[in-house]
Structure 1
Amino acid sequence: MRGNEVIGSMYMVTRSSNKTVNCTPALRSKIIKTQKKLDTGTSVAVKVEEEEANVAQPKSSSVLSSTGDCTTPYPQAVVQPKTEADTLLLPSTTRRRRQLKVEYDKDENLGPVKKEHWEPPDWRRQLANIREMRSSRDAPVDKMGAEKCYDAKAPAHVRRFQVLVSLMLSSQTKDQVTAAAMQKLRAHGCTVENIINTDDETLGKLIYPVGFWRTKVKYLKQTAAMLQKEFGGDIPNSVEGLVRLSGVGPKMAHLAMDIAWDQVSGIGVDTHVHRISNRLGWLKKSTKTPEETRKALEEWLPREMWSEINWLLVGFGQQVCLPVSPLCSVCLNQHICPSAHNFSPTKKSKSSSPHFPRTSNTATSPKGKLEAAYESLVKEETMKEETPTTPISQTRKIKKRRGKVYQSIRTNPAVKL
């Protein structure tokens, strides 16, 4: 009930419409009964609704008088706005803070943020010098690489398969040995059907003595079966499809895409490219695997150079930037290479080996004996690579001797390889 309602009167001001209506006897009796239920002397609390209490500027309206003529108005009570003290007394639900939306002014003069493009210093001069040193194209990779091992007269899908096979055989094997094995395979019939129909023993004799030849026999058989079943006898035309094949890694996949499909999908990084890139300082941080080197090179090296970087650095690593004792004195980059002369021996004598400089008075010492054993082992391995038809028994003896020599060298702190 509101204060504007007068109980017991013939007229009543309603709450909703602020109009005076005539009370009927039935309504009047109902109001009187409700009034009797209330205790005498108890005041009726007037409840102000939230929507009326939150009105900051109440409308100026007139309420009709409850007595006298119905057209006689009197001013309505004005609802006072809430003070700060009243606000503090309200429940916490009525004091929720409005969320502010923060917006920043856009500077039209500023373009998109560009990442800093890193590239090694003097890399263009170093690459130009390597191109000059490789201008004759007389390294083993130029004469016996994967580009030279396939039959140019064979159908296109057979040529692509032979490129893939030569790449699979080249892992941990010198180009001379790979070329000899591919020549025997081509004479036998290097096709998917012939590889599947050839037994393991015959296939092993054909590819021997490539590194890990027994494992590669298994990989060749599995790859040929998969190519015939899923790709119709041809090799996949994507890196994702190539790496699914047994014995094919990212390096082989990128090289196969470049040589077989004439598509540059990435840089083929082998041990030579991995070693030389770290020596020249072409990487932000030194890498430990060829795959890490590939990703680091592709971040800054222009894409138009991806195809040539492999054969350039591989031939350069075979002739000049050798794994052991690189020929820094004849390299055109010796003054701008951060690793120049770091891997070359400081002293050389006429009687010393290229790996272990020593004098004649130390030849009988334990260190000199180990060095002499290692030197003879290197000569035997070189002769084995030059003659691919070395018997298996002799190869096993060489490997056994090599293990004993390496074990003696590791246990002798005075010897440094």
Structure 2
Amino acid sequence: MLSTIMTSPYFAHSRSVTSRRRNLLTSSPLGSKLTRTSRNPREGVKEEETETDLSSRAATHGSPQQAATHPQPEASPQRAHGRRRRQLKVEYDVADGASPVKTERWRPPEWTKQFELIREMRKGRDAPVDDMGAEKCYDTEAPAHVRRFQVLVSLMLSSQTRDQVTAAAMQKLRAHGCSAGNILATDDDTLGKLIYPVGFWRRKVQYLKRTSAVLQGDFGGDIPHSVEGLVRLPGVGPKMAHLAMDIAWDQVSGIGVDTHVHRISNRLGWLRKPSKNPEETRKALEEWLPRELWSEVNWLLVGFGQQVCLPVNPLCSLCLNQRSCPSAFKSSPAKRPKSERPPQSLSPTSSSKTKTEPGSDDERMEKEATSPASRTRNIKSKVS
């Protein structure tokens, strides 16, 4: 019966149709569409599934007979393009392993212009810090280790103290003998009278005694040669340590941030977000400010804060950065003085006021100077 069926004209015609359909599937990518439009839908689906199975077997096992009987259709341009894209993506991820987007370091938008304008305003070098800062308080004829010790002492006394008061106290200490050994040999009452009226002078007497003992015993009267060693001393903070490294050892280890640098940096928008204390300001500035400017920025901003960018009622009308400063005229008086008339506030005497803590000697002295009785005496003296 099998031989009869195979020799039947009907099956012979069916084989010819099937072979033609297979040739169309092999030679043209439109074979799948032709099978769907065949007269016998069930037969067309069957042939399509058979062709797919044969192609997958040939690709998997690589049989020479199957490859000769059912040659693989050529890949369409879309499939080939898709394979190349996948390969490139995998190769890129494995080779680089990082995002190609580069993030630039944050910097204030107009900081270079603002910095140059502050230099222009500070070119006179007539602020209190220029004449009475820590760089001017040590004895230039003393031995090197004594000079470095005097620099550290002046920085310790300058905390919460005006430069004029610090300079006067250092003159008395130098006349008495400002070295670690002499400080240890001086009793507390005498030392207090020498440094009075610096802020927190009673507490600083104890700091000077304890620090001098450490320096005399461990460093031979000299100061440590590192920030880590300086901040371990009683009464020495990061600001003093970085300034001591710069002035005494001529090494830039960081930015010395005091109340002026802290205030002005926040006012100018030199920080990514406002900082709450000078140490946060120091870290934020060191992230973007070029290192070659770390030594200059303290001197620059301290004098600028003493003369123009005052803690209360800053003179924004005299500042060259009034157009770019985000804090301009927010704390200034309503009336702006004429620019051609120099204000009296730029004199060192009237611009040297710093913020004092409640209960300190500076606060008591300022209250006595600004009392109604003192104002009346000043008016009478001017009239006479």
- 1:253 is the counterpart of 2:238: no
The answer on 1:143 being equivalent to 2:131 is yes
Q: How does 1:6-405 map to 2 (within 5 A)?
A: 105-107=93-95, 114-347=102-335
Q: Is the 8 A contact 2:199 2:362 kept in 1?
A: no
- Aligned partners of 1:327, 1:201: CA distance in 2, in Å? 42
Q: Percent identity?
A: 76
Question: For residue 266 of structure 2, what is the amino acid of its counterpart?
Answer: N
Change in Cα spacing, 1:111 to 1:232, as seen in structure 2 (3 Å) is farther
- Please identify which structure carries the higher helix content: 2
Q: Match of 1:244, as an amino acid? A: R
Provide the residue aligned with 1:18 in structure 2: none
Contact kept, 8 Å, 2:135 with 2:151, in 1: the verdict is: yes
Moved over 2 A (4+): 102-116, 394-402
How many pairs were matched up?
263
Cα gap change, 1:233/1:305 in structure 2, threshold over 3 Å: closer, same or farther?
Answer: same
SS of equivalent residue, structure 1 residue 106:
helix
SS in 1 for 2:245: helix
Residue 374 of structure 1 is matched in structure 2 by none
Tell me the distance in 2 between the aligned counterparts of 1:396 and 1:173: 11
The C-alpha deviation readout for 1:214-266, integer Å capped at 9, x for no partner, is 00000000000000111121100000000000000000000000000000000
Deviation at 1:104, TM superposition (A): 7.7
When residues 261 and 396 of structure 1 are mapped into structure 2, their CA distance, relative to the original with a 3 A threshold, is closer
**C-alpha separation in 2, matches of 1:283 and 1:212:** 31
Preserved contact between residue 198 and residue 362 of structure 2 (Cα < 8 Å):
no
Instruction: Provide the TM-score with structure 2 as the length reference.
Output: 0.64
Work out the CA distance in 2 between the residues paired with 1:158 and 1:193. Answer: 10
- CA offsets 1:14-61 (integer angstroms, 9 cap, x no match): xxxxxxxxxxxxxxxxxxxxxxxxxxxxxxxxxxxxxxxxxxxxxxxx
- C-alpha separation between the residues in 1 aligned to 2:119 and 2:362? 38
Q: Please list every run of 5 or more consecutive structure 1 residues that lacks an aligned counterpart in the other structure.
A: 1-101, 350-381, 387-393, 403-417
Q: Which amino acid aligns with 1:328?
A: C
CA distance in 2, matches of 1:313, 1:199: 37
Q: Which has the higher contact order (CA 8 A, sep 6+)?
A: 2
- Structure 1: how far apart are the matches of 2:124 and 2:145? 31
